[in-house]
Structure 1
Amino acid sequence: MRNHLRLLGLVFGLAAVSPAWAQVTYPRNGVYDERPGLFAFTHATIFTDYKTRLDDATLVIRDGKVEAVGKNVKVPTGAVVQDMRGRHIYPAFVEAYSSYGLPEVKPADNRGRRAQGPQFESTKAGAYDWNQAVHPEVNAAELFKVNDEQAEQLRKLGFGAVLTHQADGIARGTGALVALSSGRKEGEVLLLDRAAAAYSFDKGTSTQDYPSSLMGSIALLRQTYLDADWNQRNPQKEQNLSLRALNEQRRLPQIFEVRDKQSLLRADRVGDEFGQQYIIKGRGDEYQRIDDVKATKAPLILTLNFPDAYQVDDIYDATRIALEDLKHWEMAPANAALLQKAGVRFALSSADLKDKKKFWANLRTAVRYGLPEQEALRALTATPAELLKVQDRVGALKPGMEANFLVTSARLFADDNVLLDNWVQGRRYKLSEIPADYRGVYALQIGQQPEVRMLVAGKPEAPELKVAVAPKDTVRGSLSVTGDLATIVFAQKGKAKGQTVRLSGYYTAEGRVFQGEGQLPDASQVKWTARRLEEASRAAKRDSAKAPEVPQLGGMMYPFVAYGRTEVPKQEVVLIKNATVWTNEKDGRLEGADVLLKDGKIAKVGKGLVAPSGARTVDGTGKHLTPGIIDEHSHIAISEGVNEGTQSVTSEVRVSDVVDAEDVDVYRDLAGGVVAAQLLHGSANAIGGQSAIIKMRWGMPGEQYKIQDTHGFIKFALGENVKQANWGDLNVTRFPQSRMGVEQVFVDAFTRAKEYQQEWAAFNKLGKGKQKKAGAPRRDLELEALVEILEGKRNISCHSYVQSEINMLLNVAERMGFKVNTFTHILEGYKVADKMKAHGATASTFSDWWAYKNEVRDAIPYNAAIMTKVGLNVCINSDDAEMSRRLNQEAAKTIKYGGLSEEEALKLITLNPARALKLDKHMGSIKEGKDADVVLWTANPLSIYAKAERTFVDGRQLFDLESDLQLRQLMKQERQRLVQKMMDAKKGGAPTQMGVQRQTGHFHCDTVGEDKDLDQ
């Protein structure tokens, strides 16, 4: 074989120039030395695509293209013929996600306000987008340069063509499809200059402040799409090269990179909104929400970047590692198999692998975990080609396609397979030689000793030796072969146990025999031979070829974090009997009453109710049943930033875009009797983002947390946080810097909103013909939200402390024609309660917080009671994940500070917030027809000794004390199982890594950036 390859090289060197390969546009300094482009590969096992196998077939390539392939193909005259008996040929892989050949993207040295103060506008020269994170005009083909080192690395993995793009920013521009040829010009390897458009939620190297949060990134992308549509309709009004480029790319494959499976779902929703079906490049956790991922119908790009086992020998190190990280280590290799079984379409990629040498090991691991070999090949060839719409160019071996193919020594995914050659554009790139394969069963004869069996197994390049001295009695040894010289060493058994036998000699390939001389432990010299036993060798090979068992995995958790369950509790028919029922209705408190929950609703309330067939009965004797607690002001369950405080007005951002279904504070809230909350934007700007109103539907995806058909809400803010004057000397340029300036922000914003409202009203009055001629006004999401306020479709919840500022906003609201629905915090509300009542505002306050900053120096614990007695609808809120778990106790303080009745106190956290959030038709009291959101307490709910024994949301028992104890025990057992599995993996030689403890913190009103305030 080696001689044949040398001859092939000689033929290359002597061949005449092929005109089809001659370059005409690039001058060359020197003589032209082009190789012929006609080759025939005969007697090969050829896979023309992932599912079509041809035995004893021929492949003909000419000038870098496939000319013919099949079983009866005639070899053309003049072709260089290569006999491929015993070899396999496969289409070369297609990499759908890379940055091959592009300049390295480096984070900016100084990012926004952190070092130089705020940067509000783009510093990029030219008629481009206002935001530096939006640069669809970037074209990878213009930046691309052949990189021989990178190309070689990717070829060794089996890739022949890659999509390369610059992974920087939100709208990233276009990627180019290039062949992995070395030593050629960029124009020769470029297969398609604009093959796909790329997006993400990461603003990348942009030094602009906006966006600073995930919800800001989503809002920016959403507005960019709208602006692109407007720009396309009105090219004469604004020349924007970025938006023009985005519009030109809309029909290309759209690749969206996300950080996790929750953002995968978020990206898909944005795509659906604008008619784009993204190809989503994830992070390997898609199996954790497989049904939801499948429902998106989005094809995926899956990485093979599996985490190493953690170092868990030290019990303290092990304790620091989150349960979800332990489980992800176990389950990540099964991601592709589980998705394939579910019918999700995907391509496999080497992306995210810092050590590319792990690619094949991880690929084989994915196969071992259940991914069928045919599907693995499909995901590396046909699928990425189809996703990029280049299936007529790459990903298969058919006439006219690129001559990109692999030559292998055996079946592609076999453990002993060797990638021999990678042909790219008809050029051979040698990857490796076939190691001489000495594996098999031998009859070993040493001197006059009885003949024994010797097994040579393992990998061809690193064979392992086992010598069977007697049945079931073997010793391990070593076999090394250098050239034709061989050395065998193993330990003696029997009387000379542990002493070494050394055999030296040579290997005769024709007879498959080792022979030579050796020395026994007693120093005697002997002759020896090891003759290969063909039938026994074939039998051993058949045994070793048996497919290994698919590794056993632990169960799934919903959500995939601590306190997740194997499945979400189902709605039940439940009869709670003989409890003290706090109805919050005119009936007040009912002693010894029954409540029936059915179909997610409160079906009946009364005494002596009979349980329907199939109902579960809960004994409420001595216990109290209340409506579920509603937290009017919360910041839990928000992903990657609670403030988009980079501008004074960010009404376009939506907390509902970033609901975090895996925040354990949701489960903790359920343990405190909380069933719903308003998730508010922070208070870093005068007009913040739109809020999300959720139920604590623990275990469901984030989209299902949201309460449907609710009134819209938005966060406003007053005070120190807004003007940011106390943020340091670098932050003195963002308007406003004073409390007077805050008022002007409101006036300016609503003046613009009124103009926007009038512009659209005038347009809508036009007939269709005139509308078409005039063109629709530009949609502005920031102003749309403010118009919704003016039209009574969106309600304001305003962060507030000081009476002067409260009076200011009331005056602005009356002048501009809108209402403030809720003043939250409102610690000086007792001073302006009468004005708030006249305005029609609700108050949402703390029970007894004061002295934590200068603004609250006049706070008093009687505030809630005073406002209640004035006639305001008053709520007690948390603004804090810890306080949210004990809102019942916070409400009880108003009995001491202000003398409210027990029922009035309970309403502060149930019916009153339901009224504030316009949910009181469905929630807040125990009444037939309302949602089955109730809590069974072990004692009076206003007692510090009361525990939420059972919390029902929509008739699902999502928390109870008994199952909580069971979950804790199951988590301990699962941790121990995984720790033991990791220790076993380490003993088996698996690489390990140190665990990093996840930061557990909470967002508050003033949290800036994506990092939560850490627990003390």
Structure 2
Amino acid sequence: MKRTKLLFFFCCIISVAQAQETFPVNGIHDYRQGYVAFTHATIIKDSKTTLKDATLIIKEGKIIAVGNNLAVPKDAASIDCKGKYIYPSFIDLISDYGITTATQPAQRRGYTVQPVSDTKGAYGWNQAIRPETDAYKVYAVNNEKAKDMRSIGFGVVLSHLQDGIARGTGTLVTLSDEKENFNMLKEKAAAFYSFSKGSSTQDYPTSLMGAVALLRQTYLDAAWYKNLKPEDREKSTSEGTNLSLQAWNDNQSLPQIFDAGEKWNVLRAAKIAGEFGVQYIIKGGGNEYQRMAEMKATKANFILPLNFPKAIDVEDPNATSLVALGVMKHWEMAPLEPGMFDKAGLNFTLTASGTAPGEFLDNLRKAIDNGLSESKALDALTKTPATLIGAYDKIGSIEAGKLADFIITTGPVFDEKTVFLQNWILGKKFIITDKGWNDYRGNYKLTIKQNNNNRQYDVAVEGRPDKLSATIKPAGDTTKTDIKLSIINNSVNLRWSAKADSSKNNFLAGIINNNAWNGSGYDAYGNTVAWNMVASSPYIEKPDTAKPKKKKDLIDTSVLYPFVGYGFTTMPKQEDVLIKNATVWTNEADGILQNTDVLIKGGKIAAVGKNLSAAGAKQIDATGMYLSPGIIDEHSHIAATGGINECSQSVTAEVRVGDVIDPEDIQIYRQLSDGVTSSHILHGSCNTIGGQTQLIKLRWGKDAEEMKFENWDGFIKFALGENVKRSYSPTNSRFPNTRMGVEQVLTDAFIRAEDYEKQGAGKRKDLELDALVEILNAKRFITCHSYVQSEINMLMHVADSFHFKVNTFTHILEGYKVADKLKAHGAYASTFSDWWAYKAEVQDAIPYNAALMTDVGLTVAINSDDAEMARHLNQEAAKTIKYGGITPEQAFKMCTLNPAIMLHVADRVGSIKVGKDADLVLWNDNPLSVYATAQKTFVDGIEYYDRQRDSTMRIYIANERNRLIQKMLTAKKEGAKTQPATRTFDQINECEEDRVGAMVGGF
């Protein structure tokens, strides 16, 4: 019955062969159909099904049968695969195979502006959004690259143009050398995205937060465009035809793949996906293991690269001292990532992207050695990518009806000694190596005949099937001589030197037939001989005694949170704490309290008083110490990545600093060490209306979302003066160029916002105008970079005209000139202590500014605008005592309670009061003293900084660096490839620009 069904199936397949082709043939038609049976193989159909001594039958590029005890059709060629393994070919979802990569544009000189795309056609306004790009239209077979990919087991790749934020569609193709028509499995197989603008020559976006905003706005624009009626598109004020938005909408039905490239961008992408109801398949960057809980929470499917970093060449101690500990630890721990994803139950594929062909299999085996199961590894290269791309009906396993894509190996595919022999794609054989198909290893009896004189030898053939070695010795002798052995197909050559004279060689040539070796040749004296060689005993694998057995690489699997030297291996927990006998600076009506206790419970201040007790609470003896509220920096640029300025346009209210928080910035820890507990992270000052700001708590070790101050009123950054009109650039072509122009930008922006609000429901949602409408409705508040009195007055006039209030003027170094007007307007003032003369508009700055504004009745803060100065804000505030004669308590409020008031969080932080958050600092001296150092810093009652722990961590860092240095030295000695010791930089953001500063010492 089974044979009858199989015969019927074959007949059906044969009938398909009658189909006609459209391409003409220049020559004689070849009617052969690639009808092949592979017999006696170990066939791994998928990770769960292995067939021993099985048969695989293919025809016309497809699998028509697989199983045990199958009859070989009489018209099929038969290949004996005894001792061979057959696996489904691998699939890679991230590739640029066959696609010409876009070149990066040359940097434009000066500040010449290109606000909109110069792409010809009815496309969208931004060149970085190119969903209309279809890889299948530009795909071309690349035999050289295909050969490299085939050699490591790949048969199918998903290729796309790796350029832009919205990259268009990728095409699913095989790695055959056939014409493109036959290789293409799916023209449009997936849509691709990233945060990189790529080769776009436009200004916008210049920052990561701009890229996020552009992506978010495009989702909104596409949804609006989709709902537009045809007649609406024809109106003069409507969008018209937008092929980019149309393509974007068309692409949403495809699998969505986001090339994030590193762990924090993974979370940014996942957040966008959640916001717009899409599910990305996310390509990581290899460091996602550092945040496994967050990765699991995304519920995303992942594409993991195996481009593990090379060992650092640490032989130069000076260069090595500039490499951060986190960089060293990543080298050691990166191979753990696939195994950690496996154990966490996350669904993922593997990609060769970023690895050289010679590295991929080595790194894959390294991942298996470090926890990745072989079954999961096989799934990640076959079934999982095929399933994610909706092609499992064609590829991803060895089953009847699927494409004949498979590899033939000498053993288990992930075994280090296994040789990849052939890669069949669409039923066509591609030879990876000719050597190793037959395993000739074993012990033989060699007979050399000359004039009826037979000489007997023992020959041992060893090594690997694809790299044989051999020795010979006369029968009964123990002296071995090496043989140079060469086998090509079934032709064989053997050559060895006579022991007495190395210039005299024995040379034998012949053929191998059914494991019998026969031929003719010459002996060492040039005499003609005949010879034959037959097997005497099988090959037995011997341990390699030439070099000691390699020890398993012992990896320290402890992850640091964050992944830098001063990170926690275990995050500190919230606990009840009783601080005893401190001098408490309350910032409340109680003033400064001597010998006072403070109880922390549930992250809040539970009690303030003398002789407090609390069962089970951790007690800290603070005798002789000072306890204060945590310092709050009203104007900071730390803990943000990808650029703090979106300088491309005069108004960028749509961008959000909250999208680019970097919780691993070492400045967070450094500022905790000097008592800072909250920082207001501002957009820079290069445009009139900058981005939305983000208030954070310095919760060292938490992720970006957990850093954010909860239930906080939104703020936005404005700027006036030289930075906005770009006085330092004579070639600036971005409006405005004058202070008058700045006023017009503001006026125009709020007129547009008013008109936008009047449109009501159904309008195109505009993130820029939404933020401005929030200002008009007192739901978002302004902090404005400002210097000179004329512009301060101008902005207050604009605000009055549109019936909103400027919340805070920051810097405001001429605030003393208009303090009365500021008070009447209801604004706050956040200033520097004594900065002066660093540019023209600062010439009238005086160190009495803060005190004079305080005397008028303004709420005044001292801010940093500088990563290092933030560590001394208590001392900066103390300067106002010298220059203005204000009280110590007034001075200290300028870096604690007053900024809390400005930021609308004074009900929670800024003073020591029952019910407020336990954001506290324990000092060894008066907090306004230059001798004061923070001993402990609490945020939400959690001890994120402890000076004693810091000392211990410095020892740990030194020891850990030394351990890793020794490990890298050993790796280099054992032949590992290395990379130069490259200085680790920490990005330091400044108000006017982004700069990168070198951080030395392995933080």
- Cα distance, 1:798–1:403 mapped onto 2, change above 3 Å: same
Equivalent residue, structure 2, for 1:559 = 562
Q: How does 1:338-349 map to 2 (within 5 A)?
A: 338-349=340-351
Question: Aligned match of 2:864 in 866, 872, 878?
Answer: 878
Equivalent residue, structure 1, for 2:52 = 55
Deviation of 1:72 (Å): 3.4
Equivalent residue, structure 2, for 1:300 = 302
* TM-score (norm: length of structure 2): 0.90
Secondary structure, in 3 states, of the residue corresponding to 1:41? strand
Contact persistence 2:683–2:691 (CA under 8 A)? yes
Equivalent residue, structure 2, for 1:938 = 924
Contact persistence 2:580–2:598 (CA under 8 A)? yes
Q: How does 1:373-388 map to 2 (within 5 A)?
A: 373-388=374-389
Equivalent residue, structure 2, for 1:481 = 485
Secondary structure, in 3 states, of the residue corresponding to 2:17? helix
Alpha-carbon distance in 2 for matches of 1:441, 1:330: 43
Could you tell which deviates more after superposition, 809-818 or 370-379? 370-379
- Cα distance, 1:438–1:942 mapped onto 2, change above 3 Å: farther
Question: Any unmatched runs of 5+ in structure 1?
Answer: 1-16, 445-452, 468-473, 492-498, 520-528, 764-775
Q: How does 1:581-730 map to 2 (within 5 A)?
A: 581-613=584-616, 615-729=617-731
Q: Which amino acid aligns with 2:354?
A: D
Q: Deviations over 1:385-407 (max 9, x none)?
A: 11111111111111221111111
Secondary structure, in 3 states, of the residue corresponding to 2:177? coil
Alpha-carbon distance in 2 for matches of 1:466, 1:288: 51
Q: Which amino acid aligns with 1:196?
A: A
- Cα distance, 1:381–1:505 mapped onto 2, change above 3 Å: same
Could you tell which deviates more after superposition, 42-51 or 861-870? 42-51
**1:218 aligned to 2:212?**
yes
Contact persistence 2:111–2:734 (CA under 8 A)? no
Equivalent residue, structure 2, for 1:895 = 881
Q: Deviations over 1:60-88 (max 9, x none)?
A: 22211111111133333412222211111
- Cα distance, 1:926–1:460 mapped onto 2, change above 3 Å: same
Question: Aligned match of 1:193 in 187, 210, 216?
Answer: 187
Alpha-carbon distance in 2 for matches of 1:464, 1:292: 52
Secondary structure, in 3 states, of the residue corresponding to 2:678? strand
Alpha-carbon distance in 2 for matches of 1:991, 1:801: 55
Contact persistence 1:21–1:34 (CA under 8 A)? no
- Cα distance, 1:501–1:568 mapped onto 2, change above 3 Å: farther
Equivalent residue, structure 1, for 2:575 = 572
Question: Aligned match of 2:128 in 133, 143, 150?
Answer: 133
- Cα distance, 1:352–1:539 mapped onto 2, change above 3 Å: closer
Q: Which amino acid aligns with 2:85?
A: H
Could you tell which deviates more after superposition, 127-136 or 98-107? 98-107
Question: Any unmatched runs of 5+ in structure 2?
Answer: 1-13, 234-238, 447-457, 473-477, 525-531
Q: Which amino acid aligns with 2:170?
A: G
Alpha-carbon distance in 2 for matches of 1:694, 1:476: 75
Equivalent residue, structure 2, for 1:70 = 67
Alpha-carbon distance in 2 for matches of 1:638, 1:419: 47
**1:966 aligned to 2:915?**
no
Alpha-carbon distance in 2 for matches of 1:576, 1:302: 48
Alpha-carbon distance in 2 for matches of 1:586, 1:851: 38
Q: Deviations over 1:493-515 (max 9, x none)?
A: xxxxxx999997879985999xx
Q: How does 1:14-413 map to 2 (within 5 A)?
A: 20=17, 24-109=21-106, 111=107, 113-114=108-109, 117-184=112-179, 186-236=180-230, 237=233, 238=239, 239-353=241-355, 355-413=356-414
Deviation of 1:998 (Å): 2.1
Question: Aligned match of 1:984 in 960, 970, 994?
Answer: 970
Alpha-carbon distance in 2 for matches of 1:629, 1:931: 13
Alpha-carbon distance in 2 for matches of 1:577, 1:476: 84
Q: Deviations over 1:350-404 (max 9, x none)?
A: 1112x22211111111112221111111100011111111111111111221111
Could you tell which deviates more after superposition, 405-414 or 619-628? 405-414
Secondary structure, in 3 states, of the residue corresponding to 1:584? coil
Alpha-carbon distance in 2 for matches of 1:852, 1:490: 86
Contact persistence 1:18–1:36 (CA under 8 A)? no
* TM-score (norm: length of structure 1): 0.88
Deviation of 1:161 (Å): 1.0
Deviation of 1:189 (Å): 1.2
Contact persistence 2:984–2:998 (CA under 8 A)? no
Q: Deviations over 1:820-879 (max 9, x none)?
A: 000000101111111111111110000000011111100011111111111111111000
Secondary structure, in 3 states, of the residue corresponding to 2:114? coil
- Cα distance, 1:964–1:777 mapped onto 2, change above 3 Å: same
**1:430 aligned to 2:431?**
yes
Contact persistence 1:441–1:540 (CA under 8 A)? no
Equivalent residue, structure 2, for 1:449 = none
Q: Which amino acid aligns with 1:481?
A: L
Contact persistence 1:311–1:317 (CA under 8 A)? no
- Percent of pairs with identical residues: 51
Secondary structure, in 3 states, of the residue corresponding to 1:865? helix
- Cα distance, 1:912–1:311 mapped onto 2, change above 3 Å: same
Secondary structure, in 3 states, of the residue corresponding to 2:985? coil
Alpha-carbon distance in 2 for matches of 1:517, 1:873: 104
Alpha-carbon distance in 2 for matches of 1:851, 1:373: 66
Q: How does 1:411-426 map to 2 (within 5 A)?
A: 411-426=412-427
- Cα distance, 1:22–1:607 mapped onto 2, change above 3 Å: same
Alpha-carbon distance in 2 for matches of 1:619, 1:600: 19
Alpha-carbon distance in 1 for matches of 2:613, 2:165: 59
Secondary structure, in 3 states, of the residue corresponding to 1:727? coil
Secondary structure, in 3 states, of the residue corresponding to 1:292? helix
Q: Deviations over 1:207-248 (max 9, x none)?
A: 000000000000000000000000000143231110011111
Contact persistence 1:368–1:548 (CA under 8 A)? no
Alpha-carbon distance in 2 for matches of 1:905, 1:844: 13
- Cα distance, 1:266–1:888 mapped onto 2, change above 3 Å: same
Q: Deviations over 1:706-744 (max 9, x none)?
A: 011100000000000001242232x2x211110000000
Q: Which amino acid aligns with 2:430?
A: Y
Could you tell which deviates more after superposition, 47-56 or 833-842? 47-56
Alpha-carbon distance in 2 for matches of 1:915, 1:503: 95
Contact persistence 1:464–1:477 (CA under 8 A)? no
Equivalent residue, structure 2, for 1:13 = none
Alpha-carbon distance in 2 for matches of 1:476, 1:641: 69
Deviation of 1:146 (Å): 1.6
Secondary structure, in 3 states, of the residue corresponding to 1:897? helix
Alpha-carbon distance in 2 for matches of 1:552, 1:587: 55
Equivalent residue, structure 1, for 2:4 = none
